[in-house]
Amino acid sequence: MVKQKLELLSPAGDAECLEAAVDFGCNAVYLGGKSYGMRAGSKNFAFDEMKRAAEYAHAANVKVYLTCNTTPSNGEIEAFPEFIKNAQSAGIDAAIVCDLGIMSLIKQHAPSLDIHISTQVGVTNYAAANELYKLGAKRIVLARETGIDEIKRIREKIPEDMEIEAFVHGAMCVSFSGRCLLSAYMTGRNANKGECAQPCRWKYSLVEETRPDQYFPISEDDNGTYILNAKDMCMIEHLDKLIDAGVTSFKIEGRAKSAYYVATVTNAYRIALDCAKRREPLPDWVNDEVYNVSHRSYCTGFYFDSSDAKQVYESSGYDRSCDFVGVIDGYEDGFVLLTQRNYFTLDDDLEVLTPGGRPVKFHSDHLYNSDGEEIKVANHATEKLRAACDIEFPRKSILRRINKQ
């Protein structure tokens, strides 16, 4: 069997997220252009931004994949050749697609790009994978409904050089791999065009036809229930099993998430994947990291027992143990130079997360603002600050506040 290199694939909703993913250890990033991607609400990348992103990533030996995975109309198809030629010129390595017409146009107009089949296609069996391979696909992104045993069978029955990508972390749709019309029906925003309003996260009650003003909760809790609100996936403790099943690319969901989220989760999965390859135990602090970003209740999706992939009925809100408060810019004459992102004080419980490292406690007795004035409270986002400290942290390390439980 062909020995395929394992890849950690991180999301990039904008340039800051892309740099965070690269700096904190991914092997590849996926991003969207201004059209044809499934995250229309993200900032995404114009072609000049895409070119700079590709240059930044390639300088670190990181690949860049472009999402072209909406379901396009005739008018959109007509505009696609120019779009994909510009993307190819920008330096993109592969396109993620779910439409056969888009796939055909990529082969005609951007032949240097590899073709990856999006999870939107819903590949759950080897027959589908093999047909897509014949059409020119290098990789399949499996539907989230595909269990470990099914992945093993797919790996055994597809060409050795065909890659398998699978989600390992992040939000999940309650519908079949994102093929959902609920958002379009209720809000006019089409999820399959990248405009999902996430009505599956909303709170619902029952109403009887002849009693239109009487709303009945769907559970015994009189606060109602969120019957469609799926848990988040977290496979950080099970990457070795996915490796054994034949997965070659380990995908983190989150092109609508912050740079802090991307950096923290990428850092944790980088260490976890390296441990899994060496068959070493996962350090406790790495597992803790996935709780330091905004998340819903975690589960392992459909990989083992589908009963684990239930909904969260009580709320659609997020939990997190830490708040992102600053980015380390450098070190000079005994001072950490940083850019503030959120409110913090020197009395807060602070720590620094470094690329490839574990969190380190941060303490400073003296903090100065951009005017050189000593302050105790940092409350101006993006202000440049200097904090006295005897530890020199790498640039782009993250300063965060640990929330009191």
333-391 tens-digit pLDDT: 999 999 999 999 999 999 999 999 999 999 999 999 999 999 999 999 899 999 999 99
Burial (0-12, 13-18, 19+ Cβ within 10 Å), 269: buried
| Position with higher pLDDT, 182 vs 108 | 108
pLDDT at 307 > cutoff 80: no
Tell me: pLDDT of 96 over 70: yes
Note the pLDDT of residue 2: 55
Does the predicted TM-score (pTM) go above 0.85? Answer: yes
Give residue 165's pLDDT band: very low, low, confident or very high (50, 70, 90).
Answer: very high
Specify the range with the lowest mean pLDDT, choosing from 84-98, 107-121, 222-236, 263-277. Answer: 222-236
pLDDT at position 221 is 60
Q: Tokens in use for 325? A: 């408060």
CB atoms within 10 A of CB 354: 17
Instruction: Report percent pLDDT > 70 for the chain.
Output: 92
Question: At residue 38, does pLDDT exceed 80?
Answer: no
Q: Which of helix, strand or coil describes residue 69? A: coil
pLDDT computed for residue 314 by the predictor: 67
Lowest mean pLDDT among 173-187, 224-238, 320-334: 173-187
Burial of 179 from C-beta contacts in 10 A (0-12 / 13-18 / 19+): middle
Q: Residue 46's pLDDT is what?
A: 94
Q: Assign 257 a pLDDT band (cuts: 50, 70, 90).
A: very high
Confidence (pLDDT) at 313: 61
Q: What pLDDT was estimated at residue 178?
A: 65
Residue bearing tokens 């470094």:
354
Give the per-residue pLDDT at 216.
Answer: 72
Position 316 confidence tier, pLDDT thresholds 50, 70, 90? low
Nearest to 346 by CA among 384, 386, 378: 378
Angle at CA 233, nearest 5°, toward 243 and 276? 25
Amino acid 133: pLDDT: 98
pLDDT at 276: 97
**pLDDT at site 223:** 64
What's the rounded Cα separation, in Å, for the pair 114 and 30?
13
Averaged pLDDT, 57-65: 98
Per-residue pLDDT band at 156 (split at 50, 70, 90): very high
Residue 204: DSSP 8-state: B
Question: What does the pLDDT read at residue 305?
Answer: 78
State residue 405's pLDDT score. Answer: 59
Largest CA distance in the chain: 75
Mean pLDDT of the chain: 91
Q: Is the pLDDT of residue 146 over 70?
A: yes
Confidence of residue 207 (pLDDT cuts 50, 70, 90): confident
Q: Tally Cβ neighbours within 10 Å of residue 134.
A: 9
Our CA dihedral for 193, 198, 200, 201, rounded to 10 degrees, sits at: 170
pLDDT tier, 215 (very low <50, low <70, confident <90, very high otherwise)? confident
Output the six-digit token pair for 19. 């740099």
- Judge contact between 293 and 253, C-beta under 8 A: no
The C-alpha atoms of residue 224 and residue 228 are separated, in whole angstroms, by 12
- What pairs with residue 351 in β-bridges? 361, 400
7 beta partners:
249
- How far does CA 207 lie from the centroid of its chain? 37
pLDDT of residue 98: 92
